Amino acid sequence: MSTPENTAPPTLEEFLALAPEGNGALNDKMGVEVTEFSPERMVATMPVEGNTQPYGLLHGGASVVLAETLGSLGSALHAYPDRIAVGVDINATHHRAATSGTVTGVATPLHLGRSMAAWQIEITDDQGRRVCTSRITCALIPAQRD
């Protein structure tokens, strides 16, 4: 992480307060709740209800939103305070359907560099079964100051 030595990383609340839209309208709409926020691991939950496709299954795009939220937050925390993270690539493999309950995404870094960060996100259902595996790469660019 690029924060100066002896400086603790910001809390989730402090970090989101720096963003123009806080948690983000899409995350609010989809019910994404970040439960763990650290440079080494990000965790969030999302309800299946309200995030389904016409057959009543968790929408694959909803899984990708959860994954991108976690990977982008992790990348942004790593880049803080001098740089910001912008997504350049994301992929997802959908392993099984979820029809109810909550899914949980756990993101761990694959690479944390000066100009790029990559994270793997594993999404599981309430029974701990893997629903989706995703990988995101973010470019870390200079923060623009006014």
The CATH architecture of the domain made up of 12-142 is: Roll (3.10)
User: Which residues lie below 8 Å from residue 21, measured CB to CB, with a gap of 6+?
Assistant: none
Catalytic residues: 68
Residue 45, both tokens: 């939950």
Structure confidence at residue 101 (pLDDT): 98
Percent of the chain at pLDDT exceeding 70: 94
Q: What residues does each domain of the chain span?
A: 12-142
DSSP H or E stretch at residue 116: strand 116-124
Q: Which of 82, 75, 81, 94 is nearest to 136 (CA)?
A: 75
pLDDT the model gives residue 47:
98
What pTM was computed for the model?
Answer: 0.92
In tens, the pLDDT along 52-84 reads 999 999 999 999 999 999 999 999 999 999 999
Chain-centroid distance, C-alpha 57: 21
pLDDT at res. 2: 45
Query: Which stretches of the chain score pLDDT less than 50?
Result: 1-4
- 10 Å Cβ neighbour count for 14? 10
